[in-house]
Amino acid sequence: MLPRFIFCFAVVLAIVVVVLLALLSPVSHKSSSKNPSRPWLALSMYIQQPRISSSSIQPVAQSDAGAFIFHRALTEGPENTSRVVGKAQGFIIPIEHFANSAFNVIYLTFETPEFNGSLSVEAKHVEDEDREELTVVGGTGYFAFARGVAVFMQTKSQSSVADPAYHVKLQLRFPDRSETIPG
């Protein structure tokens, strides 16, 4: 009888300790889904052909090719003379069998005093449309662990059809940086 009493007393005592720790803990009890102060960042930029001399222009891959490999400039505005803030690079295989390929990623690299780092944009289900909504799956530097949406829209400019410019709108969400492990 005594062992059963000791066991029950220990279980009740453990439950009381857990409840008291949960109620009196100094750790915040706010749920991350209810926390409106979660950091968000909205950016708008343009992807266009980098300014290079005409002697070094290389041919652009056509849509009937097996893959798109590109290296473009990220600019603040739609004009070719706008300030360059980084670069966009990617390798996209627009064939259905490769739709979920790890190769289908667009890397946006930022090189400014405000934003120094890169974003990885997953390019699944890319179609030949004027507007594409893609998923931001991570980043480095300032954009470490970023998640969100990247909307690519073809601009209505005087640039050639073989080399269109794109307006990119980013809606980025970051993890609560106060919860990161120092070091």
For 86-145, write each residue's pLDDT tens digit: 999 988 776 666 666 667 889 999 999 998 999 999 877 666 567 888 889 999 999 988
pLDDT above 80 (res 150): yes
pLDDT value for 85: 94
pLDDT value for 127: 64
- Please answer whether residues 44 and 170 qualify as being in contact, where contact means their C-beta atoms are separated by less than 8 angstroms: yes
- Please answer whether residues 153 and 166 qualify as being in contact, where contact means their C-beta atoms are separated by less than 8 angstroms: yes
pLDDT value for 57: 45
pLDDT value for 132: 83
Assign residue 63 a region: left if phi > 0, alpha if psi is -120 to 50, beta otherwise?
alpha
pLDDT value for 163: 67
pTM assigned to the model? 0.66
Tens digit of each residue's pLDDT (9 = 90 or more) over 160-178: 555 678 899 999 998 866 5
Tens digit of each residue's pLDDT (9 = 90 or more) over 36-68: 455 788 999 999 887 765 444 444 444 455 677
CA neighbor of 154 nearest in space, from 37, 46, 18, 22: 46
DSSP string, 50-91: ----GGG--PPPPTTSS-EEEEEEEESSSSTTSPEEEEEEEE
Cα separation of 47 and 175, whole Å?
Answer: 27
Residue 150 CB: number of other CB atoms within 10 A? 23
